[in-house]
Amino acid sequence: MKWNTELYDKKHDFVSKFGEGILSYLQPKAGETILDLGCGTGDLTQEIFQKGARVIGVDNSAEMIQVAKTKFPSIEFFQADARIMNFDTPFDAIFSNAVLHWIKEKDLVIRQMHLSLKENGRIVLEFGGKGNIQQMENAMRMVLKRNGYDKNANIDFWYFPSIGEYATELEKQNFRVIHAEHFDRNTPLKGDRGMKDWFKMFGINFLNDVPEDEIEYILDEVDDILRPTHYRDGIWNADYKRIRIVAIKSK
């Protein structure tokens, strides 16, 4: 999908702000080489860089990489696909925030992370877990179906595993999991159009081929369904559930 980087930075900067929590698990050190996998527009890559580590940011989105290079010209950024990425020199650590739930081929990503690490290198990951945005997703699918967009309603483009499922996948490929948690994280959204902007940013695949004049009508219906549960004290909220994983590369 093509990312709207302006909307991402202005309305959805919570992605990087909440990601600062997982940085405390990374604990980057001067002299380390670290890969920021799915770096977006580079805000967390910059945080790692300021700790003295040599960091490389990669993202599958050309639009994200272009903005990251403009914002942080002192850092190396490359467009790369997490399923097939290839580096000449292995990393001490791989960091990834709010990315892996976008890639359904988890076995390929885990394999590439393992190949890209030094022996005893670590991965520090945060992404959507089982139940993430479940009510929001259900509301959108319901509205699409009752408006005749059955194909859109049945699209499946996220991967939200349980801890047990993902830890098992890591262990299959010789990672040793040393920390894992699955937690609720209510996430406030900006502005009166917070929920609509969220779907236009992250759920735009639901609206592929829907005529422009019908999109707003569909988003209005979604708002109506979610307002009693997701609009509190004048603020829209997303029902996030996140997984945090720290694991070490085994032989």
109-163 pLDDT, tens digit each: 999 999 999 999 999 999 999 999 999 999 999 999 999 999 999 999 999 999 9
28-54 pLDDT, tens digit each: 999 999 999 999 999 999 999 999 999
Nearest to 222 by CA among 161, 140, 162: 140
Which helix (H) or strand (E) segment holds residue 175: the answer is strand 175-188
Tokens of 83: 């399923």
pTM for this predicted structure: 0.91
CATH of domain 5-249: 3.40.50.150
- Neighbouring CB atoms inside 10 A of 129's CB total 25
Spell out the domain ranges in the chain: 5-249
Tell me the pLDDT of the chain averaged across its residues: 92
Nearest to 190 by CA among 135, 132, 236: 236
